[in-house]
Structure 1
Amino acid sequence: MTWPRSVLVLTVVAAALWAGAPDSAGAGDYHSATEALERVQETRIDEAELVLKGMPLGTPARAWAEASILFHRGRYSAARDALPEAAPGEPDGLRRLRIRIEHAHKATLGMMERAVGNFLYRFEGGPDAILVDYAVEALEGQRAAMEEILGATPSQPVVVEFFPTVERFVLATGLPMEWVETTNTVAVCKWDRLMVLSPLNMPRGYPWKDTLAHEYVHLILSQASRNRAPIWFHEGSAKVLETRWRDPKGGEFLDPWGESLLARALDEGALVDFEAMHPSMAALPSSEIASLAFAQVAYAVDYILDSVGPRGYRQIVEETALYGDVLRALDLVLGRSLGSFEDRYQAHMRSQGLRIRTQVAGFDLKLEAGAAGVSDSEGVALDPVLLDHRRMQDHTRIGDLLRLRGHRRAALIEYERAELAGPYHSPALANKKARTLRALGRADAARQILEETVDLYPEFAPTIALLCELSAATEEHQRTADLAQRALAINPFDPKIHLHLIGALTGLGDTDGVKHEQRVLQILADHLGRH
């Protein structure tokens, strides 16, 4: 999400007018400040700083421009110090900037800082301290991938802020709480930095490493396009490219739920207009519509890459930077002989053989402090499918009681009755069934159920964790390590996954990796009381 192009420029113009410029003495300062803020709005912060250096000290316009630049650099205390004292009649634009700086300072107060590679990480002391080491792989990998695609890299370390609570995330981002809760928005690239809600706040976590990479795409695209690319192009690019850190060729970008939403929308003529996505996907009226919009724009960008490749994609971004019109750039690079871009990308979607996966449900999860750190060692937790279908839930609870009392075959019967009682595949129910089958000595059948479930619900971390546990039991060290890393990329706060990873790394002879995981386990034990 980015500010509308006019806001910062109007801010500095208001500052100059409020200071009595442009008169004959202050006109140069006024125009320099305006130029500096235009560079800031175009995410050309280095150039803005060069303009600032040529401005005389002690003038109001310079003070506001300097404060804005420092804010975009993530230096909130310095930005506060650069601001002149508030005075009666201060224009709304300046007041908003002052508030934004103050909120950023307050939201990050007391956070620890750690510089690693090309990024500066901020986080609350406690369980979130473990996030940095895992984030490095995703962000450094994504930095290299985006440099290859767009030829752009930030000149200074990028600030990455992990917020421990939803309230502090909202305060820092300026997003309305209603938007965050309605669409489960957990990360924003805004003001030249990445702001991320700790995965500790989502039941079973969320794909936070891909999310970091997703937001980094926004950052680089903003820089490469001078912040002139529209929301739909931004979000489509970020969705398609978010896995490049771990898959240079780019793999599947749509899960079965997103595929189902898009297939149904195509059948019913219910696609989301590009204009409705402005100013942010977070502003859409529901998480389901947001998921549909993401799927839709991802295929729009996929069509571009499929048609003209990375080189053509870069040319579109460069043309957008020059002229501020992505549709003009698309016509130039793709041509118009085959019709409008809208017609062509929708034809591309229809050619993909998208299916409505009737057995897959959407999970409208609620943000909840500490939710990812809650233990479910007995495997009795329910998922939204079971919570929404009483008959499935009743059979499942009976099955849990029987399983925990050692009546495994009877439990299996109840779980199978639960499956037949509802319209959707429940990943939690599949996990319970797999646990029972494993206890009955049918590990291969358990593994098959779990693998099918991961295909349907790739973000359901407990299923991946259970697959990891099965691999650990048979000492498949590399597969165990791979599954553990996949699970940690969703929920890094589950100690069992770290234990399995320690066993796998020990078998693989990675002593440094073992020591790191042992340190992580100690942090989780100290702050979450889990071993």
Structure 2
Amino acid sequence: MNGKRRIRPAPLALAALVLASGTASGSLPLGDLDRASRARDAILEMELGAARAVLEGADPSDPSLALEQGRLFIYDADCDAAAALLARPDLAATREGAALGDIARGCARATAATVVVEDQPRGIWVRLQDDDDRAFVPLLAEVADRVRAVLAKDLGVELPRPLRIDLVRDQHTLAAHTGLPLEAAQTTGTVAVAKWGRVIMISPRATLQGYGWLDTLAHEMTHLALSRGTRDNAPLWLQEGVAKREEVRWRAPDPLDDIPPVDAVALLGLEKGLGRPLDKLGPSIAMLPTAEEASVAFAEVASFIRYWAAENGDDALPQLLVRLKEAHSAEDVDRAIAAVSGADLAGWDKRWRGWLSATPRDVPQELLPWGSVPNRKEVAKRLRLGELLDERGHHTAAATQLARAQVLAPHEATARSSLAAALLASGEKGSAAPLVEKVEDVRNSVGRWWSLHGLLHGGDGPEADQAFWNGVGLNPLDPDIACEEKPAPALPADAVRAGICETARRAPR
């Protein structure tokens, strides 16, 4: 995903859930099926201690119990043990055993020579493919702790300890860990997956300008909470809609959180034929044919859940999750929804679409998934030339090129922040400051815009701290952003962010 800087849509953050597959073989493994079912239920609820107790002393030749032991090894992050067990011919002969074996072997390859870092007080376990990412662990643990508390309140689900997070190098490794086809991950820009009882996410160093990695963590933790709370019975529309809702509830609201407005994207996307019925999204939004369809699907489910939750109150989601734990069919899901909210999915879908029809449509075309940025090529050329000049110390010449890009794309945060940085380096602070003053002037969130905003408008108080936090949450390996625009060897006052700053200076992407 590395390459020259371009104006492009942000990666789909936020991310994707690949639903745990049921046994897909025409010839199920024989053996103690009741005991295997109890073990599987415990595993899907992420009650791994209970699953171990169920499987303790199990006959190793019993194929149904061995299959669940292999699944437990995967959830326990012991991929080598899972791969060895699932290589048994009787297990590999079934479609589910073969699929689990492929996951186990991919995971075992991907986790060779990895580093595990634990934050025991917060109950966080992080496995790193790249030891240079170690500086991210304290911030991951801090955010995960906040998210866990919010999910317990919002969903009534307490995530287990330790919560396991894999921070991987690239989409190839993401696919190997999860079973998500690589082509699908690349098509939709997937950067994280909740699967096998843990969060697997790409390191911020894998993308040229980073991505919203902390909100992504919150999104994927929500998937885990929903899987745990429903015994993996939550339909995809509920999983993704609630995850989009929860991904920002752990932190202070950002004025850019709903730009472009999900209601408008959903409405216009449906009218354009890019939408799908809520219950016909397929196994994963990450596997939709195009990034545009994936963006519209995320907007649909986010808009629907926001509407449904507002109409039914704070207690509705926790109540629904409890009822879904015993759901075994689409009809059971409908009955659960109706019991909690007075109407089934079709009824609520009709109400939502009626409400959605009144949504304002005046969204700039460049903000829509299928839209195009005016003068895209010219803007990209001016940005690249300006950045090259700036890197070589020709700040005034750089500012000339970047000013042309900013005129052509006045609300583009990259153009504004790059120009502000060049002007600042030229000693023109007065001209730089207005470019990064008002968040209302931009339509996308960029780490450098936030760090310069913190420097020029935050003072020494909480506004600056929040701006620097926002910057690190988007692009922690740009030294200017990570170090809060301080020249070396100065460091941020916050110890965690100081560690990230040192890493950004020593080992930038």
Deviation at 1:211, TM superposition (A): 0.3
**In the alignment, is residue 255 of structure 1 matched against residue 259 of structure 2?**
yes
Letter in 1 for 2:324: T
The residue type equivalent to 1:178 in the other structure is E
1:420-439 map, 5 Å: 425-435=411-421, 438=424
Preserved contact between residue 236 and residue 300 of structure 1 (Cα < 8 Å): yes
Q: Which residue of 1 aligns with 2:7?
A: none
Q: Which residue of 2 aligns with 1:66?
A: 69
C-alpha displacement at 1:62, in angstroms? 3.0
Give the equivalent residue in structure 2 for 1:304. Answer: 308
* Contact 2:448 2:481 (C-alpha < 8 Å) held by counterparts: no
1:20-58 deviation digits (Å, cap 9, x = unpaired): x5xxxxxxx343224423543465544433321363455
Which residue number in structure 2 is paired with residue 349 of structure 1? 356
Q: CA deviation at 1:468?
A: 3.0
1:400–1:411 contact (8 Å) kept in structure 2: no
Counterparts in 2 of 1:123-522, with a 5 A limit?
A: 123-247=128-252, 253-256=257-260, 258=262, 261-265=265-269, 268=272, 270-324=274-328, 325-336=332-343, 340-353=347-360, 355-358=362-365, 360=367, 385=373, 388-390=376-378, 392-393=379-380, 405=394, 407=396, 418=405, 425-435=411-421, 438=424, 443=429, 446-452=432-438, 456-471=442-457, 475-500=459-484, 513-514=494-495, 516-522=496-502
After TM superposition, list the pairs within 5 Å mapping 1:4-23 onto structure 2.
Answer: 5-7=21-23, 10=25, 14-16=28-30, 21=31
1:14 is paired with a residue whose SS is: coil
For structure 2, list consecutive stretches of 5 or more residues without a partner in the other structure.
Answer: 1-16
SS at match of 1:500: coil
> How many residues are matched?
485
- Residue in 1 that maps onto 2:14: none
- Secondary structure of 1:340's counterpart equals helix
Task: Please give the alpha-carbon distance, in whole angstroms, between the structure 2 residues aligned to 1:47 and 1:407.
Answer: 65
Show the counterpart of 1:95.
98
Separation in 1 of the partners of 2:344 and 2:110? 51
CA deviations over 1:66-92 (Å, ceiling 9, x no partner): 122121222223334545744698333
| 331-340 or 161-170: bigger deviation | 331-340
Give the partner amino acid of 1:334.
Answer: S
| Further displaced range: 275-284 or 52-61 | 52-61
Partners of 1:127 and 1:523 within 8 A in 2: yes
Structure 2 counterpart of 1:37, one-letter code: R
User: Distance between the aligned counterparts of 1:452 and 1:106, measured in 2?
Assistant: 47
**Is 1:360–1:456's contact at 8 Å kept on the other side of the alignment?**
no
Counterpart CA distance in 1 for 2:151 and 2:199 is 16
Which protein is bigger by CA-based radius of gyration?
1
- Residues 73, 81 of structure 2: 8 Å contact kept: yes
Corresponding letter in the other structure for 2:39: A
Distance 1:427 1:400 in 2: 14
Q: Distance in 1 between matches of 2:429 and 2:243?
A: 39
* SS at 1:323 equivalent: coil
Structure 2: how far apart are the matches of 1:352 and 1:99?
45
Q: Higher helix proportion, which one?
A: 1
4+ residue stretches of structure 1 with deviation over 6 A?
249-252, 397-404, 439-442
Q: Sort the Cα spacing of 1:289 and 1:449 in 2 relative to 1 into closer, same or farther, 3 A.
A: farther
Pairs within 5 Å for 1:39-58: 39-41=42-44, 43=46, 45-53=48-56, 55-56=58-59
Query: Once the two structures are aligned, what percentage of the paired residues are identical?
Result: 24
- Aligned-residue Cα RMSD (Å) equals 3.8
Q: CA deviation at 1:221?
A: 0.7
> How far did 1:452 drift?
4.7
Structure 1: which 5+ residue stretches go unaligned?
22-28, 365-383
Cα offset for 1:198? 0.9
Contact 1:257 1:361 (C-alpha < 8 Å) held by counterparts: no
When structure 1 is superposed on structure 2, of 185-194 and 318-327 the one drifting more is 318-327
Secondary structure, in 3 states, of the residue corresponding to 1:115?
strand
Structure 2 residue identity aligned to 1:305:
A
Shift in Å, 1:157? 1.0
CA distance in 2, matches of 1:406, 1:502: 18
**How far is the alpha carbon of 1:215 from its aligned partner?**
0.4
Using the alignment, how far apart are the partners of 1:236 and 1:297 within structure 2?
4
